[in-house]
Structure 1
Amino acid sequence: MFDASAATLAQGADALCPLGARDCARPRYNYSQCRRNDLLDFYVPGLPATNRNARAKLPVQIHAANARSSDGEQYQLSGHVHLARGDHLLQAPNVDYTRSTTAYSAYGGVTYQDQSLLLSAQSISGTTTPERADARQVRYQLLQARGNGRARSAQILNSVHSRYQDATYSTCDPQSRLWDFQGHQFDINRATGIGIAHDVSMRFMGVPFLWLPWMRFPVNGQRLSGFLAPSFGGSGNSGMYLRVPYYLNLAPNYDATLEPAFYSLRGPMLGGQFRYLLDASKGELNFNYMPHDNLYGGKRWMLQYQDSTALTPDWSFNTNINRVSDNTYFEDFGNSLTLAATSLLGSSAYINGGGSWWNAALGVDTYQLTDPTLPQDVQPYNRLPRGVLDLDIPLSGPLIFGLRSTAVAFRKPGAPEGDRLDLYPYLEAPLQGAAWFLRPRLGFRYTRYWLQGNNGDPSRALPIAQLDSGLIFDRSVNLFGHSYTQTLEPRAYYLYVPYRNQNNLPIFDTQPLTFDWWSLFSSNQYTGADRQVNANNLTLALSTRLIDSSGIQRFSAGIGQIRYFTPQRVQLPGYPVLNQAGSAYVGMVSVGLSRNWSLDLTQQYDPNLHRTTVSSVGIQRRLNGDGVLNLAYRYRRGLFDQYDVSALWPVSPSWSLVGRWDYSVANHKTLEAFGGVEWDSCCVSVRGVLRRYVTNYQGNETNAIMLEVVFNGIGGLGSRTGNFLSHAILGYQ
């Protein structure tokens, strides 16, 4: 039932992640609240690091305040006696030593240390050659992990292997053991990182709750086969569940995990993972299989496979396969709003190549619709196959010849099918100086279709001319007692594309791009190649930045608009021709003047409609170290209008509150809400969360309870609440 990875002895939490980061590294085990082990009081730093073979060739060095011997063979040593050999050091007030056999007997309060072990005992006897010792009334501390404990007796069998009788083991403070193992015998191999316990019980606050006749557990960072921490929880869709994973450390470069599970309302499920890392490839396979779902009335399964293989220095093979048994799988088994609302799964397999002036790819893309509320005709076309060739060839001086080209075969049952070739060769001459840039480009786009049936083979050909230019002014300013470099950056982008009637071209993979700051400088407002806008446009934009003395950008702001000199006649079917003087104004502000708070603001105002079309505000505030508060508002006219508040709020060194509220104004509905607590001590962490969230686009809701107890150094029990919180709360650490 224990985790395949173990803790290190390092104290304290990792440094705070950058403000605004989505995923923050959270220590697997946090020992920041642990006190210093008293055994470290006799630790002697700076001993030479020697391996076992080298140590055997070194002489034993003996120091004592007093030494007596009647025959030069038997010695009685007293007064701060030290027996040292390489990284081994034994200290005692009294030692009897035999010169010929290297046997010794130390008593009166003895301490021993090597590279990975500290030990104190009432008495120790043994030999320096071979390295063996027997100790009585023992306290021990592993230096490469926080593991420590007591034992009636202990044996040091060699430099890495020790045995403890009637012993305890824990990663807690010795003075405050919230949990520990108590066993008849512990065998600890510090080289392999494995501890083996016999007749062992696990206790929490002194109360036994688990007994095993034999058990293996980790004592350092080595991977270890065995049962991992079970997870359990509950939801309204599937009832209570229990998962019991078993980890298989098959080889240094590949491993596997099998995870039997049981859902009270649905039945048993088998999950698993296989990972590999070879000289030329790496990959991961994940699967879940339920032979019969009592509620669904049939089998359920999920498959995910990723692989990246280097074929030659310039070529590789990459695949990403994602499939589920049915379109309600994520609704029934997803444990988050994002996963439950997954509507489309993509799979791909590609051969990719690249060099200093070229990139190429050949492969396939397929899609699976996983939202039962959406009609089948919204599923994208499969691309069977798709080829890409991009060139950027330097010519004379600043002149560059470029090519963007794709060839795709679009296939979709029950829909018009065909093939498409899209070629876009161009010449550009980027010029720039310290305070300016000028990027002229002249290209020609040719697109040809071969349609199945009697739909003909339409084509489109047109030139594309663009000129991107800008200036960069800077000055030194002093704000709030700090020195900054402020920039002022005007930018002008001109685009000319003549009109071509494209109503006879099919729509295979083209949709309008989301209009944002980068759309101001784009040569097309559509994805795919089925539509190319006509344009006689000029984008005018102005931005400014504040950069501190270390080169970090602390503030940025910008505003821009496209001015149209001709109507936008190229539209998707059902959309009218637009005859507007200009696009919406796009503005953005990003502020991060300190490590404790940041602000990101995006605003779009349409002068044609005289109203705001897009608005988003995000504020993040650090609280008491690793706490965080997020306030967000997101609005896009006709699509969504949402408030989102989330927080990790430390109320004491041990207690924190967690929560989130995601509310849709348009639907007058809470999309997700949860609240819970975290409690951390030196060696135990407890997280509990109550959740209510939407499971599909129809707005159906369910409840869930998540509880996780983590025993630092060996793993935990319950649902993986920490993983859920790291994705649900921006900046959770």
Structure 2
Amino acid sequence: MRFPLTLAVCVTSSAVWADSAPQDQCLVKIPDQVRVSEQPLDETDPAIRVQADRSDAQTDAARFEGNVRLTQGARRIRTESAEVRQLEGTFSATGGLVYEDPSVVISADSLNADVDDNQARLDKAQYWLNGQQVHGTAESLQIDGEDSLLLTGATFTTCPQDDPDWLLEAKTIAIDAEEEWGQIWNAKVKIFDVPVFYVPYMTVPVSDKRKTGFLFPNISTSSKNGIDLAAPFYWNIAPNYDMTLTTQYMSARGLFLQTEGRYLQDWGAGRVNLEYIGSDRLVDDAPERWLLHFDHGGKLDENWRLYGNYTKVSDDNYFNDFSSSVQASTDNQISREGEASYYTDNWNAAIRVQDIEVLGDSEKPFQVMPSLSLNYHQPDLYGPVDFAFSTELTHFAHKRDNHLTATRWHVEPTLTLPYQAPAGSLTSELKLMQTFYEQRDPNDQLEDFVSRTLPQFRLHGQVNLERDMTYRGDRYLQVLEPQFQYLYIPYEDQSDIGLYDTALLQEDYYGLFRDRRYSGLDRISDANQLTLGLATRFLDDGNRERAQISLGQIFFFSDPRVTLGEEETMNRSNSALAADLQLQASDHWFLRGGIQFDTESGHTNKSELLLDYRLSDNRLLQFSHRYVPDLGTDVEGNSIDINQAGVRASWPLTDEIYFVGNWYYDLNLDRSVENYAGVQYESCCWAIRLAYHRHLNTNYDDVDFTTINPRDDFDSGVSLKFVLKGLGSTGPLGVTDMLNEGLFNYRKPYYLRN
């Protein structure tokens, strides 16, 4: 005789628990009285075992009475009375009936099963999912031969308590075990026993598989967009294809449509984004505004790699006006690039194209169309000497007609003699940089053909010193790392070479030990300089790094003469003094700071400071300050600096309510730049968030890039988000996404090595 019940349905929700609702507190507690047995059983054992106080076996039937227990593998049934009719192929049970397997526990008044068809019906059923937060009741629960469920007069909830905060009542719920999703007809959702909406038909996930359906809408208001309502729809096209379509209505602008499609293949993964608003009422003449984005990354085999990224928007202010998953409003440029590369153990080659668009800037950068590169590395070429060779052939095009274009070929062989020991290292490097330019200048201001040959010598050494020390009774290991670098590159006039991909690099502590002052190859600065640096690290008894302090400066034996043209020739004996500090003062206090200080003028070139007090991931306070001078001039010709202070906080007010807020202030203009405050309630089965924001708008149309205009255009508004966990949500609200709200994302102030 076959055992008639073979349940394998696992109903789960898509929610993931946040800090304020720990998972172990949110799982459904199955009552002990409905457990059949706590003893583990052999799931592979096909034999049916029956225990009962009394049994009566006849020719066509067998009856079992009193404390009846049936087991087959990991499936178990407990009941007071059971009857098996062998000839008819039926099984029935009544009285305190409980069914249990690794996935589900069901209690019911009665069970009737067709053994031959492997179908069963349980009346007045109550079900719980093992290890999940899903449970409910059903007037009738039917199981077919494919282990699928049909529930009539059913309820469904993910709240762990017997009296749930929200409950879905439905006329019919059909759960497909093979497809792992459920269909619900004539459903109404109750919150605190009050009906809030009715749904004639809906689907819900019954596993961790993705499922097609509507997600929860987002509602907000702002002074810029008015009332903002977004309704996302998720389409699970295939296991390796999906799409999210969002219809967003903004009362001040109009109807905004967003589509994001994703794919995953053996040869790579990527996404496609399309966004469109047909008539933006906030812009003169109500133009069409749109976005097109595509990105792909992957490999064809063990050697070939492919990468592509393309974004096109209708206008420069698109990211300032619309919230997009493609790019943030703080990004002021769009990069479009494609690359195919081939890798082996000793060499790699690549072909690349790139087009960068600076938003709001009338001067367009050059396009890389294309660039061919080859890199070869042979360690221990001759004894301890390593050899490296790189070459690059690049064509710089431009979107404008009759504009400067060029082709550049660069060759760079390098010999390196490294010496490594526990006490330190010494590396000698000799390099020859040969560059050829073919330039087509319609204004005849640059030479048609330029050849540049520059040797480079670099000597870098570092010493590692250690000592044990005690501070306030605690033992530490201090590591002292003094280092030096001598760099020599002779001077060559490069004023006949155009600027195609070159910019000045930042001189932080680690940047002091670069061998280049500029990015790109159009300017290679002459150098006769010595860099001195000193770094020290402190490690505790657990070998965890508690502090790191770095200090360094470049000393020029001769003034660098190569510039980018707009700079004045340097007449100075040293660079800015660069210092970096990372400190974990205690288990909860963290500090990171950096400064570039001009010792000759007494001015600060750049500084940044972050101070964190962190008790846990959702209990933190952060104080920050950043200063960058001479970014431009205002309309009156005065220098413009970034001089901003900020405070960010995340703190639980109760076990289920927490607060996140930030405030950033411009110390020069005496005004706030961004304010954000959000309060969120989250229980095990639902969450709600109310947030307020106010931040400075950016509009490239009213910016003159020769000056910087002070602006007083702010966007402010209120948003409300509500989630019933396990009912079509993409996951609960949490601290992390609140910390990432706004222009300035949260950054940890420490990157200490553990």
Tell me whether the two structures share a fold, i.e. TM-score over 0.5: yes
Change in Cα spacing, 1:86 to 1:704, as seen in structure 2 (3 Å) is: same
Residue pair 1:509, 1:527 contacting (<8 A) in 2 also = yes
Matched residue, 2:408: 420
2:383 partner letter: G
Aligned counterparts of 1:381 and 1:6: Cα–Cα separation in 2: 53
Deviations 1:257-316 (CA, angstroms, capped at 9, x unpaired) = 222222222222322111111121211111102222233322111111111242342122
Aligned counterparts of 1:282 and 1:408: Cα–Cα separation in 2: 28
Deviations 1:625-661 (CA, angstroms, capped at 9, x unpaired) = 6322221111123341111211211111101011111
Q: 2:92 aligns with which of 98, 102, 105?
A: 105
What SS does the aligned partner of 1:469 have?
Answer: strand
Deviation at 1:97, TM superposition (A): 4.0
Matched residue, 1:61: 49
Deviation at 1:567, TM superposition (A): 0.9
Change in Cα spacing, 1:405 to 1:727, as seen in structure 2 (3 Å) is: farther
Deviations 1:193-239 (CA, angstroms, capped at 9, x unpaired) = 21111111122222222222221111220111122222232332222
Matched residue, 2:565: 573
Matched residue, 1:528: 520
Instruction: Check if 1:197 corresponds to 2:184.
Output: yes
Aligned counterparts of 1:424 and 1:362: Cα–Cα separation in 2: 18
Instruction: Note the 1:300-311 alignment, pairs <5 A.
Output: 300-311=289-300
Matched residue, 1:7: 13
2:295 partner letter: Q
Q: 1:318 aligns with which of 300, 307, 311?
A: 307
Aligned counterparts of 2:725 and 2:472: Cα–Cα separation in 1: 44
Matched residue, 2:746: 730
Deviation at 1:723, TM superposition (A): 7.3
1:390 partner letter: N
Matched residue, 1:694: 696
Q: 1:164 aligns with which of 151, 161, 168?
A: 151
1:37 partner letter: K
Matched residue, 1:509: 501
In structure 2, list runs of 5 or more residues that go unmatched: 1-10, 631-640, 700-708, 749-754
Change in Cα spacing, 1:246 to 1:70, as seen in structure 2 (3 Å) is: closer
Aligned counterparts of 1:331 and 1:662: Cα–Cα separation in 2: 19
Deviations 1:142-196 (CA, angstroms, capped at 9, x unpaired) = 2364211112222233473122211110101232412121111111234432111
Residue pair 1:459, 1:505 contacting (<8 A) in 2 also = no
Query: Which deviates further from its counterpart, 663-672 or 678-687?
Result: 663-672
Matched residue, 2:8: none
Residue pair 1:49, 1:115 contacting (<8 A) in 2 also = no
Q: 2:366 aligns with which of 381, 394, 401?
A: 381
Deviation at 1:492, TM superposition (A): 0.9
Residue pair 1:231, 1:718 contacting (<8 A) in 2 also = no
Aligned counterparts of 2:547 and 2:115: Cα–Cα separation in 1: 65
Q: 1:703 aligns with which of 699, 704, 716?
A: 716
Instruction: Check if 1:411 corresponds to 2:413.
Output: no
What SS does the aligned partner of 1:298 have?
Answer: coil
Matched residue, 1:447: 435
Matched residue, 1:21: none
Residue pair 2:15, 2:726 contacting (<8 A) in 1 also = no
Deviations 1:363-385 (CA, angstroms, capped at 9, x unpaired) = 211122323xxx411x3211111
Residue pair 2:123, 2:141 contacting (<8 A) in 1 also = yes
Aligned counterparts of 2:362 and 2:617: Cα–Cα separation in 1: 49
In structure 1, list runs of 5 or more residues that go unmatched: 15-26
Aligned counterparts of 1:174 and 1:247: Cα–Cα separation in 2: 30
Matched residue, 1:24: none
Matched residue, 2:646: 644
Residue pair 1:709, 1:717 contacting (<8 A) in 2 also = no
Deviations 1:343-366 (CA, angstroms, capped at 9, x unpaired) = 211100111122222232212111
Change in Cα spacing, 1:176 to 1:569, as seen in structure 2 (3 Å) is: farther
Deviation at 1:333, TM superposition (A): 0.9
Residue pair 2:627, 2:642 contacting (<8 A) in 1 also = yes
Residue pair 1:147, 1:219 contacting (<8 A) in 2 also = no
2:121 partner letter: D
Matched residue, 2:461: 469
Aligned counterparts of 2:412 and 2:14: Cα–Cα separation in 1: 55
Q: 2:224 aligns with which of 233, 237, 248?
A: 237
Residue pair 1:387, 1:408 contacting (<8 A) in 2 also = yes
Q: 1:175 aligns with which of 162, 184, 194?
A: 162
Change in Cα spacing, 1:731 to 1:381, as seen in structure 2 (3 Å) is: closer
Aligned counterparts of 1:298 and 1:272: Cα–Cα separation in 2: 20
Residue pair 2:14, 2:728 contacting (<8 A) in 1 also = no
Matched residue, 1:208: 195
Change in Cα spacing, 1:280 to 1:130, as seen in structure 2 (3 Å) is: same
Instruction: Note the 1:213-292 alignment, pairs <5 A.
Output: 213-292=200-279
Query: Which deviates further from its counterpart, 506-515 or 390-399?
Result: 390-399
Aligned counterparts of 2:161 and 2:412: Cα–Cα separation in 1: 70
2:153 partner letter: D
Q: 1:560 aligns with which of 547, 552, 558?
A: 552
Aligned counterparts of 1:78 and 1:686: Cα–Cα separation in 2: 51
- Identify the structure with bigger relative contact order (alpha carbons < 8 Å, sequence gap 6+): 1
Instruction: Check if 1:340 corresponds to 2:329.
Output: yes
Aligned counterparts of 2:668 and 2:375: Cα–Cα separation in 1: 43
Change in Cα spacing, 1:512 to 1:428, as seen in structure 2 (3 Å) is: same
Aligned counterparts of 2:145 and 2:259: Cα–Cα separation in 1: 38
1:307 partner letter: H
Deviations 1:19-49 (CA, angstroms, capped at 9, x unpaired) = xxxxxxxx9x964542642346644567558
Residue pair 2:15, 2:732 contacting (<8 A) in 1 also = no
Residue pair 2:243, 2:262 contacting (<8 A) in 1 also = yes
Residue pair 1:446, 1:461 contacting (<8 A) in 2 also = yes
Residue pair 2:465, 2:479 contacting (<8 A) in 1 also = yes
Deviation at 1:437, TM superposition (A): 0.6
Change in Cα spacing, 1:299 to 1:168, as seen in structure 2 (3 Å) is: same
Change in Cα spacing, 1:230 to 1:89, as seen in structure 2 (3 Å) is: same
1:537 partner letter: Q
Matched residue, 1:622: 614
Change in Cα spacing, 1:548 to 1:356, as seen in structure 2 (3 Å) is: farther
Deviation at 1:115, TM superposition (A): 2.6
Matched residue, 2:659: 657
Q: How many percent identity over aligned positions?
A: 27
Instruction: Check if 1:353 corresponds to 2:359.
Output: no
Aligned counterparts of 1:337 and 1:75: Cα–Cα separation in 2: 67
Residue pair 2:687, 2:732 contacting (<8 A) in 1 also = no
Residue pair 1:443, 1:465 contacting (<8 A) in 2 also = yes
Residue pair 1:337, 1:672 contacting (<8 A) in 2 also = no
Matched residue, 2:673: 671
Deviation at 1:322, TM superposition (A): 1.1
Aligned counterparts of 2:496 and 2:454: Cα–Cα separation in 1: 16
Instruction: Note the 1:133-152 alignment, pairs <5 A.
Output: 133-143=120-130, 145-152=132-139
Q: TM-score, normalised by structure 1?
A: 0.89
Aligned counterparts of 2:733 and 2:75: Cα–Cα separation in 1: 42
Residue pair 1:512, 1:526 contacting (<8 A) in 2 also = yes
Instruction: Check if 1:396 corresponds to 2:382.
Output: yes
2:384 partner letter: P
Aligned counterparts of 1:32 and 1:708: Cα–Cα separation in 2: 25
Deviation at 1:694, TM superposition (A): 1.4
Matched residue, 1:610: 602
What SS does the aligned partner of 2:328 have?
Answer: helix
Aligned counterparts of 2:732 and 2:160: Cα–Cα separation in 1: 26
Deviation at 1:709, TM superposition (A): 0.8
What SS does the aligned partner of 1:530 have?
Answer: coil
1:424 partner letter: E
Query: Which deviates further from its counterpart, 192-201 or 159-168?
Result: 159-168
